[in-house]
Chains A and B, each alone.
Chain A
Amino acid sequence: MGGPRVVRRGQLRPRERTPNIMLKKIQKSVTQSQVWKSIFRVGIPTDNRKRALAMLGNVVLHLHPIKVKKSGLRMSYTWCMGGTAFFLFLVETITGLLLMFYYRPTVEYAYFDMVDLREAAAFGIMRELHRWGAHLMVIAVWLHMFRVFMTGSYKPPREFNWNVGVVLLVLTLLLSFTGYLLPWDQLAIWAITVGSNMARATPFVGTEGPGSALLQLGGTKLIHVGSDARFALIAGRTIGGGTLIRFYVLHCVGIPFVAAFLIAVHFWRVRKDGGISGPV
């Protein structure tokens, strides 16, 4: 009818929209700056070509394919447990690195460095994050295996990747086990004592294992307390400084290195075996 525009209740007045426009302007000037463009080649994807390029151009994102099956995207299908386990592996790596700045793996210092971590270190929850994250990672890996079994995703062509996964499960438990000793408190050494006593009973290579008495040369026993599997594991006849440094190196360098390599293999094979599993 051409009369004056009536602003209805609840509708925004033109002036009230300005913050939004301001934000847009700031966003525009940031994302079109030379610095931003030099880092993010594609920008925020607005069409399918850019969505594909965003995945290809980023070293982290290119672990993913450009497109995924809708069935495999559902969290009720994947439970997000593989990703959770990997994310927790990263959390453990970062918090572990920070803890290494404070922690000295010797009998004299280990326990008191723990006390300091609790009482004197900045952001004093790193040890908590590391410990609870580790427990959660064990659970996440089990649940991931549970899901993969329930969807039959170990079936051809994914048999080998299931095996890599089983090895990663064992490595997760070993990572957690070696880390358990490091606080050097009563809980730590006695849990490791109970655990490592099992090695004494390894068939043939443990002193109390079946068949170990057979391994002797001219009446000299080859397998004794100072040479059996348990000795190799804990670097001594009892848990001590040698065990601590051995577990520390395995925990911080040895096992993470192997695990990281196998995680790469695991992800690579997920892609090569046809992505997240789905009905054929």
Chain B
Amino acid sequence: MDAIKDLINYLSYPKWSFTLSLVVFFVLLWSKRLWTRSGGLIMFVVSVLAFCLSLLDPNFRSVVAKPDNVPIVMMVFLVGYFLWLALYKAHRNDELIERGEPTFEKSEVEDKIFTWPDLVFIEFICMILLMIGLVIWSIVLQAPLEEPANPSVAPNPSKAPWYFLGLQEMLVYFDPWMAGVVLPGLIIVGLMAIPYIDTNPKGNGYYTFKERKTEISLFLFGFLVLWCQMIVIGTFLRGPNWNFFGPFEFWDTEKIEPLVNVDLSEIIWIKVLGVGLPSHWFFREIFGIVLLSLYLLVLPVVLSKTRGFKRYYGKMGPSRFYIGVSLFLVMMLLPIKMYFRWALNLKYFIHIQEFFFNV
């Protein structure tokens, strides 16, 4: 048992668990078997069993059972269930489309039903059930109240509210101006841009996967792998000093993780060229600046001419294509930076402390 726990602890370290989740994400997305009733049932039973077994472990229990963490456990299961539901309906519709039959929604859309009593009663019953659930939850679980505020004693770890823990987790890889301001801002801008970038007229008002593979994969990658997974890591797996702890690991305040991160400029000027850092910031950071400009400015243009992306360029037109690709590339900066960190201990691509401009 301990060996299994140690293995899980080891595998849950971000570099392994993130890679694993990437693989699982794409396998899940492209497999059809799992998005059936039996597939869903198996996934549900396995995840509930795994969760209940894990609860036997005191370290796991102490983190999961914190009153404020209960909603996040709930969120994980709800997101899982609704992911299954959406893809189950999508694949069933895809089969209908393939056979040339109208989708499930299409066959019912002409059928108009009186709001009274059908919709009104559904809403009424939902409200009552929700209220009952909420009252029971409130009676069973008391809202947390810690010691009175004391500005001179910081708890370790100090965590933001749970829905921002994905952003706090990004602080491991980026400076606050990126993780706390620019990237969240771009998430909002990117979400708002979706309807204007996505020109695919299909899949409007019904579940389908086949007709919207790219859009759905990109959205789910952002929502599940980057947003939800980072929240789970930030909530359950980050302990004192924001050190990483496996799910069955004790939150040891003394745990020390060596910090030997180096900048790209140091890697190239000192390790590779062996000449030492130039004194002016522009020459010192020239490689990072060139690399990032290539990535953000040149790559979109190159992509617009490469084979796989050319047809999107043709369909979307230049402005939609460039905005969409830029937003995508900025999103991908996060996993790219993660892998550079894990492979090379990279701290910053560009490190201009003079202007607080660190990427």
Interface, chain A (partner B; CB < 8 A): 45, 48, 51-52, 54-55, 61, 64-77, 79-80, 83-84, 87-88, 91, 107, 111, 114-115, 118, 125, 127-133, 135-136, 138-139, 142-143, 145-147, 149-156, 158-159, 162-163, 166, 169-170, 173, 176-177, 180, 183-191, 193-195, 197-203, 206, 208-214, 238-240, 277-280
Contacts and interface: CB of A to CB of B under 8 A. Distances in A.
A191 B105 contact: no
A57 B164 CA distance: 43
A197 B177 CA distance: 10
Given A65-B115, A71-B108, A147-B82, A197 B176 contact: yes
Interface string B93-134: 000000000111110110111111111101100110011001
A189 B85 contact: no
A155 B204 contact: yes
21 contacts: A68-B113, A72-B109, A73-B118, A73-B119, A111-B149, A114-B145, A130-B143, A131-B143, A133-B134, A136-B71, A152-B212, A154-B198, A156-B204, A188-B149, A195-B160, A201-B180, A209-B177, A210-B355, A212-B356, A238-B151, A280-B205
Contacts of A54: 116
> Which interface residue of A132, A150, A155, A206 has the most chain B CB atoms within 10 A?
A150
Secondary structure of the B side of the interface? helix
A71 B109 contact: yes
B154 interface: yes
Contacts of A142: 75, 79
A7 B131 CA distance: 45
A195 B195 contact: no
Interface string B259-290: 00000000000000000000000000000000
Contact of B206 (A152, A169, A206): A152
Given A152-B212, A186-B153, A118 B158 contact: no
A197 B171 CA distance: 12
Interface residues of B, number: 92
A278 B112 CA distance: 12
A168 B86 CA distance: 23
A152 B148 contact: no
Contacts, number: 278
B161 to A, nearest CB: 5
A151 B182 contact: no
Contact of A146 (B79, B144, B206): B79
Nearest to B195: A159
A186 B149 contact: yes
A200 B153 CA distance: 21
Interface stretch (B51-59, B186-194, B244-252, B303-311): B186-194
Contact of A195 (B111, B134, B150, B164): B164
Contacts of B204: 152-153, 155-156, 277, 279-280
Given A155-B204, A210-B355, 10 more contacts: A55-B115, A87-B126, A118-B142, A135-B162, A142-B79, A143-B78, A150-B216, A153-B204, A154-B198, A203-B181
